[in-house]
Structure 1
């Protein structure tokens, strides 16, 4: 996109983590915000923060796995702002543990938010985006979308699908004014672990709230990458040293996750 000042961006999962700092970074560029989240407290906090930067912000409570609810959002955003130029599909949840121990209801939960949330957002907003002079879609995947990691198989299922979907959608829209980008963050301090499910969910939640979490980088560099992808129409952005290592591994030795699997299996048996 040539400019962000005066444009309108929709950000899902805007109540915390990557969504919040992305909204703040877009606001600093002069972008007005439509903030979407399931948490009323979190999304209002984000709205207050971006309004202090001199832009307008509307809040929309929605579970992105609910197609009917997401389908209502374009009209709500147009009523509040008059246009939509940017869509950031960021909302996400996680699970950890061996796939054999996963509950299917938890897998469906992840697929609903991580994958269907992206599909619902793109399908609902695309007609409006195509009507603009220029627009952009950002879908947040993960480093596990580059290379599926053992003990994260169900999570990798969703994020790998987001990668492929985004690549296909970019190809479809290449002759339009709508750009499409995929973002592949490594490990960042986002708060996603607080709701982790799965056999290792409790351990991941404890790690996320421990003092060790302070050593994990904040989500600000992911937000920086998202804005850069929008402004420069980047097809993909890999963020963080761990994500770059996995990206390289996927290219050099695709499908060879056995060593990682042995290591994570030993770790899991110790807890």
Structure 2
């Protein structure tokens, strides 16, 4: 996009982590932001950050799994801001552990948030984006969307689907004024580990709280800068973090060869 100042952005999962940082940095560039999260507490804090930057913020409690709610959200954004120019589908959850230990309930939960949340967002807001002189969609995948990592099968299922969907959508919209960027973050400090499900969820949460987490996980501020730059430059992909770049290379030079990684993660899960 040539200009972010004065535009209206919708950010899901805006109550913390990556969503909060993206919202704040878009506001610092002059965008007005509609903040969306399933929990009201976090988005009110994010709204304060946006308003301190001197732009308008509206807060919207919504579960991205609910298609009707997302359609209503699009109407709310128009009523509040008059338009939508940028959509950031960031809301996400995770799961860790062996696939055979996953319950169908947990599988439906992670697919509902990570995949259907992106689909619902695009379906609800694309008609609004098409009305603008220029617009942009950001869909947050993961480094696991580049290469299906063992003991992350459910998460990889959703993030790989987001990658393929986003690439297809970018191709479809290639002759329009709507750009699409797919984001592939590595490990970042977002709080996602605290709500993880799966047989290794407790181990993942413990790692997220450990004293080593700041060394292994990067701040979401740097990732947010990369995302905003991706919007400005209409980048097809943003691969963020040395771990994500390493996985990207591995996926190219040794596609599908995840056996050694599976043995490694399997031993770690057994020790837990």
The secondary structure found in structure 2 opposite 1:150 is coil
Tell me which residue corresponds to 1:85: 85
Q: What is the CA distance between 1:221 and its match in structure 2? A: 1.6
CA–CA separation in structure 1 for the residues paired with 2:72 and 2:212: 41
1:37 aligned onto 2:25:
no
Tell me which residue corresponds to 2:206: 206
CA–CA separation in structure 2 for the residues paired with 1:115 and 1:142: 12
The secondary structure found in structure 2 opposite 1:198 is coil
The secondary structure found in structure 2 opposite 1:55 is coil
1:133-144 matches, within 5 Å, as 133-144=133-144
Tell me which residue corresponds to 2:74: 74
Tell me which residue corresponds to 2:234: 233
CA–CA separation in structure 1 for the residues paired with 2:31 and 2:58: 12
**Which segment is superposed worse, 158-167 or 203-212?**
203-212
Tell me which residue corresponds to 2:187: 187
Q: What is the CA distance between 1:74 and its match in structure 2? A: 1.0
**Which segment is superposed worse, 206-215 or 111-120?**
206-215
Tell me which residue corresponds to 1:263: 264
Q: How many residues align?
A: 271
1:210-229 matches, within 5 Å, as 210-215=210-215, 216-229=217-230
CA–CA separation in structure 2 for the residues paired with 1:204 and 1:265: 14
State the 4+ residue runs in structure 1 displaced beyond 4 angstroms: none
Q: What is the CA distance between 1:210 and its match in structure 2? A: 2.3
CA–CA separation in structure 2 for the residues paired with 1:86 and 1:248: 30
TM-score, structure 1 as length reference = 0.99
CA–CA separation in structure 2 for the residues paired with 1:128 and 1:42: 26
CA–CA separation in structure 1 for the residues paired with 2:213 and 2:258: 26
1:116 aligned onto 2:116:
yes
1:196 aligned onto 2:192:
no
The secondary structure found in structure 2 opposite 1:14 is coil
Gaps of 5+ in 2: none
CA–CA separation in structure 2 for the residues paired with 1:85 and 1:11: 11
Q: What is the CA distance between 1:220 and its match in structure 2? A: 1.1
CA–CA separation in structure 1 for the residues paired with 2:5 and 2:154: 39
CA–CA separation in structure 2 for the residues paired with 1:178 and 1:60: 24
CA–CA separation in structure 1 for the residues paired with 2:226 and 2:154: 26
CA–CA separation in structure 1 for the residues paired with 2:161 and 2:218: 26
CA–CA separation in structure 1 for the residues paired with 2:123 and 2:226: 24
Tell me which residue corresponds to 1:19: 19
The secondary structure found in structure 2 opposite 1:181 is strand
**CA deviation digits over 1:153-210, x for unaligned, max 9?**
1100000000000000000000110000100000011110010000000111122122
The secondary structure found in structure 2 opposite 1:211 is coil
The secondary structure found in structure 1 opposite 2:212 is helix
Tell me which residue corresponds to 1:250: 251
